[in-house]
């Protein structure tokens, strides 16, 4: 996860100045949890993708692109393993789907794994996994995170919808 390591190297006291759509510029905060233990990783389903496990081994959750001074969640939260399992149940994720985070305004981020055609990231409010294929992005977690970092925390998947 080269983009993640490069991003972390650019932070000053957990902050980074970013430019988003329409020229908006702000200092945003990044918080990275300590890595998951082997015991914590063992709680995940056996089909959990390697790229996501690698992230959790490094950071068992994170907060990305949080406005420096706003108190509400305007950025992204990548869940800890405990939260992944809790939200997967609350959001009634089907088999091979794992809730991995929440975006601005509570948008769900769900990782569909163990697909013969390749893993996918889903994002949206109140996802309907049977009917809303357009909410699925045709790549796995590592590429999604890379794109999120390059897009400076903007919801790049919305650009084409």
Q: What is the phi/psi pair of residue 104, to 5°?
A: -55, 140
- What pLDDT is recorded for position 132? 67
Q: What's the predicted TM-score (pTM) here?
A: 0.92
- What pLDDT is recorded for position 125? 77
- Tens digit of pLDDT for each residue in 143-158? 999 999 999 999 998 8
Q: What is the phi/psi pair of residue 148, to 5°?
A: -60, -40
Q: SS3 breakdown of the chain: % helix, strand, coil, rounded to 5?
A: 35, 25, 40
Alpha-carbon distance of 58 to 76, in angstroms, equals 17
Alpha-carbon distance of 139 to 87, in angstroms, equals 21
- For the chain, residues with pLDDT lower than 50 are none
- What pLDDT is recorded for position 21? 83
């Amino acid at each position: 996860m080269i983009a993640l390591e490069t991003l972390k190297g650019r932070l000053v006291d957990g902050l980074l100045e970013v430019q988003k759509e329409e020229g908006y510029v702000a200092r945003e905060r990044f918080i990275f949890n300590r890595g998951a233990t082997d015991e914590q990783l063992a709680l995940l389903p056996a089909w959990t993708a390697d790229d996501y496990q690698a992230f959790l081994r490094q950071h068992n959750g994170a907060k990305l692109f949080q406005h420096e001074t706003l108190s509400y969640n305007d950025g992204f939260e990548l869940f800890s393993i405990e939260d992944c399992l809790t939200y997967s149940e609350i959001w009634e994720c089907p088999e091979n789907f794992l809730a991995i985070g929440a975006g601005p305004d509570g948008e769900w981020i769900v990782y569909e794994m163990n697909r013969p055609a390749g893993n996918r990231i889903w994002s949206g409010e109140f996802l309907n996994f049977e009917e809303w294929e357009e909410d699925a992005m045709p790549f796995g977690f590592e590429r999604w995170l890379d794109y999120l970092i390059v897009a400076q925390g903007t919801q790049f998947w919305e650009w084409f919808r």
